[in-house]
Structure 1
Amino acid sequence: MAASAPGEIRIAVTDDTGLRDYALWRPGRPDGVGDLHRGRTGARMPALGGTFIDLADGTAGFLPDSAGTAPTEGDAVLVRVVRAPQGGKGARLKAEGGSDAAGPPALLARGPTPLDALAQAWPDAPIVIDDAAIAARLPPGLRPRMQRVPRAFDEETEAACAALADPVVALPGGMRASITPTPALVAIDMDGGGASTDRRAKQTAQFAANRDALPALLHQIRLRNLSGAIVLDVAGLAIRKRQALRETIEAALAQDPLRPRFLGFTALGLAEILRTRIRPPLHEMLSGAPGRALQMLDDWVRRSAGQPGRPPGLRVGTDLARALAEDPDAIADALRLSGHQPAWRLDPALAPQGWTYDRDTRP
């Protein structure tokens, strides 16, 4: 299912058990994964084991020595993006052979979109869309799977997708977990629930509660695209008992197409998981100024669509004003989805990512 919103398409895969996969696709701000570039070799960094490559959009990606022969500074080189910029770091690249190496930096070909990737991962699933603009962006090979409906997401799917923005996750057995991304790693803390009323011995009850809750929690790693180093503190279980959860953890991680690795438990009893970084994690996409600007436009569209008269105006902080100016596709989407031209004005009194409806316009 692909649901249209200003500047982005929300993609969900569901079955009788609920939400199986999820991704955000922002056509006006593609993440670049799979893009083929002709770049210009910049500074080599022996301490980092690689070379920075200047790209056509003015950014630089990093080419590890292990990803291809180290080029000479100033040389043109063909590279492909294998990891999107994220966590404050630029794109990760690999060297590509070919005959287009001569010339200035240029984007030569776009990689697969998140919708392309999920359509390939779920080849038997129909592509249910609610907006003709999505159909126009589909590759010809996917169009036979397309089904047009008035609303792509039902209420249950909307709720499940919205819950992915919440750092607190409700789990089976009354348990819950708190997910805290940091610059270095993602920390997950499980909190006991139903085990407190279990009449069995405390450690037996805690083991059963963690075992039953872990598959749902580890599925959240996939849905939220958490990646890199992940440490997990299970609830209330003695450190010496935690090794017995290895099979449960490994079985749950095996369902993830990125095949995260379970590295074992630390001396403190923390489960260590390593998941490959490719596309940006959901929390990064939602938390920055571009994400906040799209959330604002989505709220504005929901309030303005189908309403007669003048739509409400917006007052925005400096970062949101810049994000809106850099994403004309999102503005065009808001106009198409609402039937009104969005209007905003900069308000320096607001926080950089703050916004509000303008009191000088009618709702």
Structure 2
Amino acid sequence: MDKKIIADVSPHEVRIALLEDDKLAEIYVERRGKERLVGNIYKGRVENVLPGMQAAFVDIGLDKNAFLYAGDILADTSDFEFGPNPEHPDLRSKSIGEAVQQGQEIVVQILKQPGGAKGARITTHVTLPGRMLVLMPTVNHVGVSRRIKDEAERTRLKEVLEGIKPEGMGVIVRTAAEYRSAEDFRDELELLVKLWKRIQARCEVIRAPRLIHAEEPLVFRTVRDMFTPDVSEFVINEREYYDKVTALAAIIAPNMKDRVKLYTGGASIFDDYGIESRIDKALEKKVWMKNGAYIIIDETEALTVIDVNTGKFIGDNDLQETILEANIEAAKEIAKQLRLRDISGIVVIDFIDMETEENKQKVIKALEAALSKDRTKTNVLGFTNLGLVELTRKKVRRKLSSIIKMTCPYCQGSGTVDSEETTALNLRRLILKQIAHSDAKEYLVEINPMVSKYIDSRDPSEAPIIPKIEGVKFYIVESEALHISDYRVTEIASAKEREKLIGKAKVFY
């Protein structure tokens, strides 16, 4: 598989696209002033301790207090495997009140980005990522990424790091460290330890709440985390960042620095690589597949729901085989969409109903195989009693839709607006109410053309939408600027106003 990283750097935002065989696989967006906070380290002050929730709220200087759950006072070992006896204090049996007290100043790191009404989620266990290693200065053990599958290599890496890690500190071995020697690790480990000492020194001279250490910007995180040997090109459209990335690559991956390219083409690097149009499609609710089937993706506050439909796919003579083929293809597409849209949390999938357990397991295996390409941890829980598939995907950053889109100001995120009939009836009620409290004889009524068309289409024998009131005239004006749910009714106060409407308005009386 040919992989390319395309970086679009502008004064307002940075966008990174990962292409796999020229197809958009991942997209990351970071806008000026709204940089990612995950990984930032703060000195915070405990504001409230809530024993009933086993949590505390900590002021770290952001708009909302951060949330510290008792379980996050332990290291997160979900992505790594550690030895049988990791040396860190067991706080599971302790209450949050025994771990932290109100007014206490503590060093914390953001685990999850704040969003909506929720503040950031934090942990007291700091991790400092490098390209091959992650230093854990507050715990004493060695872990190896679960993505390294070779057991002999896992054992070797553990032994190597046990021998060179700083005393009393822990290390996580990342995927990029596979088959590397102890000498490859020493320089990076030394840099990470120096960084931790600088953070400690700063903690001693500043008062909470204050940012102590900010995570790297998106472009440099990309070099550290994504610029792996299987990437053929890293193309950047901005000279300053090109020079910086080249210099960084020369330090951490000298054999790959020649793969960093400066884009010298047209005005838009994303247009030239065909990425811009794919971003728009990446946020569409309906996703068509090559075989004619399609999936519907609904993102809600609590979870994401995905519905699989056969669409135009008719298959062969065997109905169950047709359903199986459509579901397997959908499983592959769903894995791509979760990764591309960066959807996290709970995901529920409604595959087309299958009669046999064997076919269900084939679909689960296809889904797990497709998800194995995802760098973000996922956990497939299987089919429920209702025939739905449940999975979870770890939240690392804000999903793409929350960065690029906003809640619709008309429907408030419901996805629906008033129909033409509803708007017309609401308009009628407003007119009757206004007439009851006014002596005016002429009114200007402004409505959307679709509502006007509905009013005109009504059967003349039925009660009219615009009421017939003796001595009162209504001048109806269509306005494309008005949303379908909006309308305005105003009194016409002068002959001059009435003359302006002649030829433009329909008159009802």
Structure 2-normalised TM-score?
Answer: 0.53
Paired residue secondary structure (1:278)? coil
Q: Name the counterpart of 1:320.
A: none
Mapping of residues 196-345 of structure 1, within 5 Å = 196=314, 198-238=315-355, 241-288=359-406
> Structure 2: where are the runs of 5+ without partners?
1-5, 74-90, 92-98, 127-137, 139-199, 251-256, 408-480, 484-509
CA distance, structure 2, for counterparts of residue 71 and residue 135 of structure 1: 45
Give the superposition deviation at 1:205. Answer: 0.6
The structure showing larger relative contact order (alpha-carbon pairs under 8 Å, at least 6 residues apart) is 1
Q: Name the counterpart of 2:119.
A: 90
The C-alpha deviation readout for 1:176-229, integer Å capped at 9, x for no partner, is: 111111111011111213432x22211111101211232122111011110000
Picking from 218, 236, 252, the partner of 1:129 is: 236
Q: Name the counterpart of 2:34.
A: 29
Picking from 152, 159, 177, the partner of 2:269 is: 152
Cα distance, 1:27–1:271 mapped onto 2, change above 3 Å: same
Cα distance, 1:117–1:268 mapped onto 2, change above 3 Å: farther
Greater shift, 14-23 or 222-231, is seen at 14-23
Q: Name the counterpart of 1:66.
A: 71
Paired residue secondary structure (2:367)? helix
Structure 1-normalised TM-score?
Answer: 0.72
Q: Does structure 1 retain, via aligned residues, the 8 Å contact 2:242–2:261?
A: no
Give the % identical residues: 26
The one-letter code sitting in structure 2 at the alignment partner of 1:276 is K
Q: Name the counterpart of 2:444.
A: none
CA distance, structure 2, for counterparts of residue 251 and residue 259 of structure 1: 13
Paired residue secondary structure (1:59)? coil
The one-letter code sitting in structure 1 at the alignment partner of 2:377 is R
Cα distance, 1:239–1:186 mapped onto 2, change above 3 Å: farther
Please provide the CA RMSD for this pair. 2.6
Whichever of the two has the greater Rg, that structure is 2
The one-letter code sitting in structure 2 at the alignment partner of 1:31 is R
> Structure 1: where are the runs of 5+ without partners?
290-348, 352-363
CA distance, structure 2, for counterparts of residue 39 and residue 107 of structure 1: 9
Is it true that 1:175 corresponds to 2:313 in the alignment? Answer: no
CA distance, structure 1, for counterparts of residue 273 and residue 219 of structure 2: 21
Cα distance, 1:133–1:285 mapped onto 2, change above 3 Å: farther
Is it true that 1:110 corresponds to 2:139 in the alignment? Answer: no
Q: Does structure 1 retain, via aligned residues, the 8 Å contact 2:13–2:31?
A: yes
CA distance, structure 2, for counterparts of residue 142 and residue 271 of structure 1: 42
Paired residue secondary structure (2:114)? coil
CA distance, structure 2, for counterparts of residue 224 and residue 255 of structure 1: 15
Cα distance, 1:91–1:140 mapped onto 2, change above 3 Å: farther
Q: Does structure 2 retain, via aligned residues, the 8 Å contact 1:169–1:178?
A: yes
CA distance, structure 2, for counterparts of residue 288 and residue 83 of structure 1: 20
Q: Name the counterpart of 1:335.
A: none
Cα distance, 1:199–1:2 mapped onto 2, change above 3 Å: same
The C-alpha deviation readout for 1:119-141, integer Å capped at 9, x for no partner, is: 32232333312234644875951
